[in-house]
Every structure is written in structure tokens, then in C-alpha cells.
A and B are shown apart, each in its own frame.
Chain A
């Protein structure tokens, strides 16, 4: 039986399966691989954001299998057929947590040698007070080198950003 909220994403080689009902908001996916798993973007999974090897590595770290993967060559014709449909509404770790998050204080998490991960109900404004984005989860760049400022794009790993320096 399949949940209508379930989604799948492919890069032609592997397919990532997303089951919102299993997500406990561990945030491992986007803390480790924001280039692929970005709750602030639609669709929130970009299979071209990293190598297959890296997607597998991070997807395996999901504690609940809310995200899981398979080689396309190992998938059934029914499963493959679903790669060709693109449902209109997509849940993300952000939207499913919405109700819970609104009750909690905003958490600002400084990640080691990485970004500032914010969870909760908050506003982001630019220098002039103009609203950039209102969301429930995001990552701000801390290394100074992101190409999509002020947000993290994973560049900290390429530049070897280190908290101790």
C-alpha cells in the first residue's frame, strides 16, 4: 500500500524514495547534503546536486528510512513508472513539521565546520528590512563562500572551512 504523499526522485542511475510519514526531522539529510536535500526549494530533492555515491552515503544515514534508495536496474516496472509522474503537491521535512514547529522556540544550531541551521517559525530580512524568505527551516552560510548567499550551498566542504581557524 502506498501513501499518496510519498515521492520519488531519480538521476537515471538510482532513485530516492521519500516517505513524509516516516520523517522525524533528524535533519541529517540537509545538514550533510544541502546540494541535494534542500527543504527550502521545490522540488526539495535535486538528484543532480551530487554524485550517486555521495547521495547513497547520506541517504543511508537517515535514521528512519524516510529517505531510502534503490538502483533503477533493481526496480520493478511499477516502481519505475512512478518516476515519470510528477505530483502537484509535495511535502517536505519543512511542511510536515509546520504545526509542531510553530509551538517551539526557534532553534539556531551552529554546525561544526558548517552552516547555521535554523528551525522554527521565523523571518529572514535583508539589510533594508525587506523580507527575503519566511520559512520553517533553513541553513545560513558561515564560511563566507556560498554562491547562494546568505544561504548554505555546501561550499564550506570544498573550501575546508574550519571552526578552529
Chain B
């Protein structure tokens, strides 16, 4: 019997990354599975040097959103 998976949640952090928790699968632009382990922090500011993940650049560039 499969266990009930954890609810998938996207938290939009103020002026920061998108935090993904619960059960999910992240695929890159080529369709390869990147990770399915949460939490992950996805860049929202466009400035990360480690896209699609956050590397903290948003605070350096003063991202607001």
C-alpha cells in the first residue's frame, strides 16, 4: 500500500527564492530529473550563479518581488 505523499507546497519568500517542499520532481530544460528531494530553493531574482537554484545573489542585487 502506497503511503499518502506529503502535500506539495511552493512558498514565495519575500525578495527571495521559491521554496519547494513535500513531494515533487524537478526537471531541467532538457527534461532530465534534477531532484525530487525537498526542500529546494529555486532562484526568482534571475541573478543566481547556480540556476535554477538560489545562491543568495538576490540580497546582493537588492531583488524586490
Give the interface of A toward B (CB within 8 A).
Answer: 105-112, 116, 118, 120-127, 129, 132, 140-146, 149-150, 161, 163
Contacts and interface: CB of A to CB of B under 8 A. Distances in A.
18 contacts: A108-B20, A108-B24, A109-B27, A110-B34, A111-B29, A116-B18, A122-B7, A122-B24, A125-B12, A126-B12, A127-B12, A127-B14, A140-B18, A142-B42, A142-B52, A149-B65, A150-B12, A150-B65
Contacts, number: 98
A158 to B, nearest CB: 13
B29 A122 contact: no
A107 B46 contact: no
Closest 4 CB pairs of A and B: A144-B46, A112-B29, A122-B8, A149-B65
Given A108-B27, A144-B46, A149-B65, A116 B12 contact: no
B9 interface: yes
A149 B27 CA distance: 22
Interface string B8-25: 111111100010101111
B64 to A, nearest CB: 9
A161 B46 contact: yes
Contacts of A110: 26-29, 34, 42, 51-52
Interface string B26-65: 1111000010100000111111000110000010000101
Given A123-B7, A144-B65, A105 B25 contact: yes
Nearest to A126: B12
A139 to B, nearest CB: 12
Given A108-B20, A111-B29, A141-B44, A125 B10 contact: yes
Contacts of B23: 105-106
Nearest to B24: A106
A161 B43 CA distance: 13
Contacts of A116: 18, 42, 52
A144 B24 contact: no
